Amino acid sequence: MSDRVNLEKVVFGFFVLLAATLNFGFFLGDLDRPELHNVYELFAAVVVNLIATVLKFGDRTQIGAVHLATSLVADLQLIAASLTWAYAAYISSEGLTAGATASMVSLSGGALLANLVSVVLLVVETVSFQRH
């Protein structure tokens, strides 16, 4: 057994956790108050989730497939949240209403759940790896 740190696993874990924390930061706050949900944080969550997804493509194990599935779900939810924001902010005559904000935050909540599943998988994978 090697005592060296696997840099690939560190980078992978970093992006999985960063995706979850950025998404959590955007999600946190009253559901219908746009000023509590920073659009730049949503954008960062989308970008980091997409990077995490790319990092998950190389893993050919069963747990790797589930990691990829959770990441794809989070990507879809966050992209939908971004499109909801863009529609409300730039296309809709009503602007960023409480209803649009609630939809956007709810979609990011679904992504957050997928991110949390991914974090749990990462922890389970790490703990089971230590036992081998």
Tokens of 57: 């493509």
For residue 112, give its domain range: 7-130
The answer to whether position 2 is within a domain reads: no
Q: What is the pLDDT of residues 80-118, one digit of tens each?
A: 999 999 999 999 999 999 999 999 999 999 999 999 999
Length of the chain: 132
In total, how many domains does the chain have? 1
Positive or negative torsion for Cα 118, 7, 42, 71: negative
Number of other residues whose CB lies within 10 A of the CB of residue 9: 13
Tens of pLDDT, residue by residue over 25-50, are 999 998 888 899 999 999 999 999 99
1 has a pLDDT exceeding 90: no
Side-chain half-sphere CA neighbours of 46 within 13 A: 17
The pLDDT assigned to 101 comes to: 95
Q: Answer whether residue 117 is part of any domain.
A: yes
- Report whether 107 contacts 42 (CB < 8 A): no
Give pLDDT, residue 131.
56
